[in-house]
Amino acid sequence: MTDLTGKVAVVTGSARGIGEAIAKRFASLGANVVVNYSTDEENARRTASEIEAAGGRAHVVQADISSLPDIDRLFDETLTTFGSVDIVVANAGREVVGQLAADVTEDDFDRLFSVNAKGAFFTLQKAAKVLTDGGRLISIGSTTTIFPYSGLGLYSSSKVVAAQFVRILALELASRAITVNTILPTGILGAGVFADPAGAEAFRAGDAQMGRIDGRVGTPEDVADAAEYFVGDLAGWVSGQTLTVAGGAIA
């Protein structure tokens, strides 16, 4: 079993969904966890309370990762509270589905790229500067970056930047024994646009027939399983890699 006792983990966008599941998993393995949110303070506080009720330790930090001063404050507060940073998961992001490429406006572009590209890039950059040697960096991407979907051109394009940056950081941080990897989840029930009950039900009905293992759709816990692998000892010599979490489906 993975032992993260004494480690400090920062998970951006961890008020709910995939980020919440990863934060709770790391806490259950002994890590001190920073729960980050941009606007959803209620769910961030709930996540932290549930971590602490289960015997873990959590600290909540509001920070909008599209803002570089906010990113700096996120890590500065983590260092002040816990003294170090050992694990960082760049998970925060925005989703837009069903938008044809011809309909994308400059405002649409700026809104998504400010978080999914700029925010993820500078979160990873700042993390690389403060991470302890032997630390772990994980970027949460999307299968839309490797499988083309109509109506997801802007979203998938915005997620490509971090995926490429991960490969570069893996080379640049190798001498410090820091691993840098990407997880590409498919659509995940209870996360992103599929957290809405109506959208989740439609997703469950349509996606379960696409060749998934056990005929089911993915859950945030499936992604947390992959994150646990990357932060554990078994992945100590795995870096610059991309792990697709899609239940065996190829699209």
pLDDT confidence of residue 151: 87
Number of C-beta neighbours around residue 96 at 10 A: 17
Compute the half-sphere exposure of residue 178: CA atoms within 13 Å on the CB side of its CA: 27
Element (H, E) at 181: strand 179-185
Question: Rounded CA gap, 140 and 182, in Å?
Answer: 6
pLDDT confidence of residue 249: 76
Q: Which of 116, 125, 212 is nearest to 156 (CA)?
A: 116
The better pLDDT of the pair 162, 200 is held by 162
The better pLDDT of the pair 195, 156 is held by 156
Is residue 241 over pLDDT 80? Answer: yes
Which residues make beta-bridge pairs with 11? 35, 89
- Give pLDDT tens digits for 33-58: 999 999 999 999 999 999 999 999 99
pLDDT confidence of residue 9: 98
Would you state the structure tokens that stand for residue 56, as one six-digit string? 């873990």
Looking at residues 177-191, what average pLDDT do you find? 87
Could you give all domains of the chain from N- to C-terminal order, each with its CATH number?
8-244 (3.40.50.720)
pLDDT confidence of residue 4: 98
Residues 39 and 92 sit within 8 Å (Cβ to Cβ) = no
**Residues with catalytic roles:** 155
The better pLDDT of the pair 249, 163 is held by 163
pLDDT confidence of residue 48: 98
Sequence-distant (≥ 6) Cβ neighbours of residue 196 within 8 angstroms: none
pLDDT confidence of residue 198: 52
% of the chain surpassing 70 pLDDT: 90
Sequence-distant (≥ 6) Cβ neighbours of residue 89 within 8 angstroms: 9, 10, 11, 12, 14, 19, 22, 138, 139, 140, 227
Number of C-beta neighbours around residue 81 at 10 A: 13
Residues 200 and 170 sit within 8 Å (Cβ to Cβ) = no
- Give pLDDT tens digits for 55-98: 999 999 999 999 999 999 999 999 999 999 999 999 999 888 88
Is residue 200 over pLDDT 50? Answer: no
